[in-house]
Amino acid sequence: MHGAGNDYIYVNTMLFDIPNPQTAAIAWSDRHKGIGSDGLVLIGASPIPEADYSMRIFNADGSEAMMCGNASRCIGKYLYERGLTPNPSPRGEGSSHQGMQIKLLTKSGIKTLFLHIKDDIVESVTVDMGKPVLEDEKLFNPNLSTPLPHRGRLRGGELRSGRGQEVGRFVSMGNPHYVIFTDDVDQVGETGRLLEHHPAFPQRCNIEFAKVESDGTIRTRVWERGSGITQACGTGACATAVAAALTGKAGRKSQIVMDGGMLNIEWRESDNHVYMTGPAEFVFDGEIYAP
């Protein structure tokens, strides 16, 4: 399945056990020798009554992530269209249920999925991504001033390159992101690779390069830790929207345009939560032996 081009392999572990998910993620994510994906997502039963289902996500390099917004939307679509949603609403042609909710347990807490359904198809999903975290010394040390090969240095929380200063902000949406506003979003491959492993980020970091366009949309490219350049990143879109609001580049609602499509983000003042809305799509089903 994919959400705005951010594609993962999904396994329902209530039916199929994956004993070595790290190994499977590496083998299956290989786009030449495996299925090909940005990683592996495991859908499971929830061990606690407060949630309906659980998810675990492993990047293409086998590392486990805390959360993935695009993957959570795909899980919502999978659960509904496979008839696994809790307390399912009446189904049938012509039905339209906007109130379907699923509580999904992730490693960064319980996320609420709001399914937008028409004619028994989940057209899009809104995810309550929770409150953004703007400071976390376990994830970001802004006081480091360490040189970056070929690009400059990260000092005081801002990336300074030979071409001047490119303003960046740290935002955690369950996993760490560093958002840089720049006219050169295509430096994602070069600078993103370097910043992911920068000493300022003790647990590595997802890196976004964003530019506010004349129509108000925010063009964003993303380097995901453990996966590299991806078509989209849900938590990254949320982090970009928060960073844009904090720096006065946008309001509380943003349209984030990524390589694979657009996500709508709202950072609500009423509860300080970030809400992400976007598509989810099936690509194919198949069988493969677990390594």
- pLDDT tens-digit series, residues 107-148: 999 999 999 999 999 999 999 999 999 999 999 988 877 776
Dihedral sign for Cα atoms in the order 74, 79, 85, 88: positive
Q: Across the chain, what does the average pLDDT equal?
A: 90
Q: Which residues contact 15 (CB under 8 A, 6 or more apart)?
A: none
Q: Are residues 122 and 164 in the same domain?
A: no
What is the C-alpha separation between 181 and 239, in angstroms, rounded? 12
**118/168 same-domain check:** no
pLDDT value of residue 158: 66
Q: Is there a domain that residue 139 lies in?
A: no
Average pLDDT over residues 262-276: 97
**pLDDT, tens only, 196-218:** 998 889 999 999 999 999 999 99
pLDDT tens per residue across span 1-13: 999 999 999 999 9
> Do 108 and 156 fall within a single domain?
no
- Over the Cα atoms of the chain, what is R_g? 19
Q: CATH number of the domain that 126 lies in?
A: 3.10.310.10
pLDDT at 54 over 80: yes
β-bridge pairing 176-181 and 253-258: unpaired
CA distance 236 to 209: 10
Residue that the structure tokens 């249920």 belong to: 97
The DSSP H or E segment spanning 73 is helix 69-81
The per-residue pLDDT for 146 is 72
For residues 171-186, give the mean pLDDT: 93
Give the integer Cα–Cα distance in Å for 30 and 21.
14
User: Is 277 within the bounds of a domain?
Assistant: no
Do 61 and 181 sit in the same domain of this protein? no
> Do the domain assignments include residue 171?
yes
Catalytic annotation, pick one of 74, 205, 233, 238: 233
CB of 135 within 8 A of CB of 148?
no
Same domain assignment for residues 106 and 155 = no
Which residue range(s) make up the domain with 80? Answer: 2-130
Pair (189, 251) in one structural domain: yes
Angstrom distance (rounded) from CA 148 to CA 190: 11
Provide the domain count of the chain: 2
Look up 238 and say whether it is catalytic: no
Examine residue 175 and state whether it is found in any structural domain, yes or no: yes
Q: How far apart are CA 251 and CA 182, in angstroms?
A: 18
Q: Are residues 94 and 153 in the same domain?
A: no
pLDDT for 91 equals 43
**Domain identity same for 159 and 117:** no
| pLDDT at position 166 over 70 | no
Q: Does residue 124 sit in the same domain as residue 151?
A: no
Catalytic residue among 68, 74, 205, 238: 68
pTM: 0.89
Q: Compute the distance between CA of residue 81 and CA of residue 91 in angstroms, rounded to an integer.
A: 10
